[in-house]
Amino acid sequence: MRRYLVVLLVAAGSRSAAAQTCTGNLPFSYGRFHLAANLAVDKLAQQYTGEFRFGTHGVFGAADVGLKTWDITSLHDESNIFGLVAGVELPLPVAKLSVCPLFSWTSLSGPQNYVEKAYAAGLTIGYPVLSHSAWGIVPVVAVSVGSRNPWLKGRDPSFPLPPYWARFCCGRETVSTMSLAVGLGFTQQVTVIPAVGFPLGANGETTYALRAALRLGKGP
C-alpha cells in the first residue's frame, strides 16, 4: 500500500499543476491558492463554511471552518464545523479528463454536548466542455463512501435519549453519496459551482450546495 501511494504521488507530480478540474474548480495552474465560501442546505440544516485550498503538481488539500445551523424541526441550534480534504489527480491518457480520489475528515461540535466525526473516501470526475480565457464550463460527477459517529459527551448509555435527539444520535452509520455539479469559471479568477448530492443508502439527506472560489496569486 505504501509503495502504491508513493508511485501515485510521483506520477501525479509529473503532470501540470492543473489538478482540481476534477472538482469543477479553477485549475491550480492559474494559482496555487484559492479562497472559497460554501453553502450546503438539506431538510435538516444549513451549513456555511469558509475554505482555504492549496495545490501543486497534481496534489491538493483544503481546510474549511464554519457553522451548521439546524432547523427548528431538528436540533434547533448551531454546530461548529471543521474539515480537511486531500486529493490527487490521477495520470490518464485522455488529455481533458480529470479524475481524483479524495479523502475527507469533518468534525462537528455542539449544540450542547453533541459531537460528530465523519470520514469519507471518494472519486470525482470532471471534463471541461468549454475552456476559454473569459469563461469555462466543467461538468462533474462524484461518488463517496464514509462513516460518521455522532454521540453525546458524558451521556450515560443506560438512559434513553430524548425524542428530538434520537433522530441524530448515537452510533456509527455508513453514508454513501453521489453528487452532480457544474463548475462555471469566469476570467480565470472566479469559479462558481452549484451541486446536488443524493444519498445512495438509507442514511443521509439530499443536499443542495453552492461554492464560490477566488484564485489568489499566479500559477507556478
pLDDT in tens, 105-153: 999 998 888 889 999 999 999 999 887 777 889 999 999 999 998 888 7
Task: Name the percent of the chain lying above pLDDT 90.
Answer: 47
CATH of the domain at 197: 2.40.128
Q: How far apart are the first and last CA of the chain?
A: 31
Q: pTM, whole model, 2 decimals?
A: 0.83
- Domain containing 131 equals 2-216
Q: How far apart are CA 40 and CA 49, in angstroms?
A: 9
Residue 4 confidence class, pLDDT cut points 50, 70, 90:
very low
Residue 45 makes CB contacts below 8 A (sequence gap 6+) with 68, 69, 70, 71, 74, 75
- Average pLDDT of span 142-171: 76
Domain count, the chain: 1
The reported pLDDT for the residue numbered 21 is 85
- CB–CB of 23/140 below 8 Å? yes
Highest mean pLDDT among 14-18, 58-62, 201-205: 58-62
